[in-house]
Amino acid sequence: MLNKLFPAILLFGFFSQSYAFQFPLEIIDYMDDATIIVYAKKDDINNTSVWIPGEGNVPLGINELVSKVNSWLKTQPEMSTLKINEIELKKVKKHEKDNYWYYLLQLKNNNDVQYLAVLMNGQILPAIKEPKSYK
């Protein structure tokens, strides 16, 4: 009996775990003629604050954003020399619900440029500059 039940339990466990995995969403945006790709989970976006322009304050203000990013940068040895160079407020495109926004930041030092995305709940997401193709 156990020999017949074990494969079924194993198969059920495998499929329940595979359905729990979420592929990241790719949010493609632009900053200074660069294509930036932000990777986010659908749940991360759904768990952040909604903001409707003209109806109240932005959930994450600029002062809070700068403070959060600067604190985070101090914990990242490979990025600790970078400083915020530019901030843009962007709408999450092609998401099933409207009114989700995030900040796209360009970080710079003398010889390096990096990008970050920050959701309205303060969660920092990876973002990369798409390399230009050469023809």
Instruction: Name the residue among 48, 45, 26 with its Cα closest to residue 37.
Output: 26
Domain boundaries, the chain: 22-129
Q: What is the pLDDT along the chain (135 residues), one digit of tens a residue?
A: 545 555 455 445 555 554 556 677 889 999 988 999 999 998 999 899 999 999 999 999 999 999 999 999 999 999 989 999 999 999 998 666 788 999 999 999 988 999 999 999 999 999 999 887 665
pTM of the model: 0.80
Q: Cβ distance 120 to 51 under 8 Å?
A: yes
Residues 6+ apart with CB under 8 A from 94: 27
Are the C-beta atoms of residues 126 and 35 closer than 8 Å to each other? no
> ∠21-25-30 over CA atoms, to 5°?
160
Three-state SS across 89-127? EEECCCCCCCCEEEEEEEEEECCEEEEEEEECCCCEEEE
